Amino acid sequence: MISHYPVFRFGAEPGLVPKLGGLPWGLPARMWPICEECDRPMSHLGQLPADAALALDKDEVLFLFKCEWDSVCSFWEHDGGANAAFTVPRTALGNGPTAAPLAGDEGAPVELPELGITQWKAADDGAPPEMQDDFYDYGRHNALPDEIAHPHDWAGAWRTKSGGVPYWTANGAQQLPPGRLLLQIDNWVEVDGANVEVGNFCSDGTAYVFVDRSLAQPIYCMFINR
Ligand SMILES: [Zn+2]
Q: How far is the CA of 82 from the centre of ligand 1 (A)?
A: 5
- Burial profile 5-35: b = 16 or more Cβ within 10 angstroms, e = fewer: bbebeeebeeebebbbbbbbbbbeeeebbbb
Q: How far is the CA of 18 from the centre of ligand 1 (A)?
A: 25
Q: How far is the CA of 183 from the centre of ligand 1 (A)?
A: 23
| Rounded Cα distance, 223 and 17, in Å | 23
Q: How far is the CA of 24 from the centre of ligand 1 (A)?
A: 19
Q: How far is the CA of 103 from the centre of ligand 1 (A)?
A: 11
Ranges of residues in the chain whose predicted pLDDT is under 70: none
Q: How far is the CA of 146 from the centre of ligand 1 (A)?
A: 37
- Residue 154: per-residue pLDDT: 82
- Residue 56: per-residue pLDDT: 95
Q: How far is the CA of 33 from the centre of ligand 1 (A)?
A: 11
- Residue 71: per-residue pLDDT: 74
Q: How far is the CA of 221 from the centre of ligand 1 (A)?
A: 17
2-225: CATH number: 2.30.320
Question: 154: left (phi > 0), else alpha (psi -120 to 50), else beta?
Answer: left
Q: How far is the CA of 87 from the centre of ligand 1 (A)?
A: 21
Q: Which of 103, 96, 149 is nearest to 127 (CA)?
A: 149
Q: How far is the CA of 141 from the centre of ligand 1 (A)?
A: 32
- Residue 222: per-residue pLDDT: 98
Give per-residue pLDDT as tens, 173-211.
Answer: 999 999 999 999 999 999 999 999 999 999 899 999 999
Q: How far is the CA of 73 from the centre of ligand 1 (A)?
A: 5
- Residue 24: per-residue pLDDT: 98
Q: How far is the CA of 43 from the centre of ligand 1 (A)?
A: 10
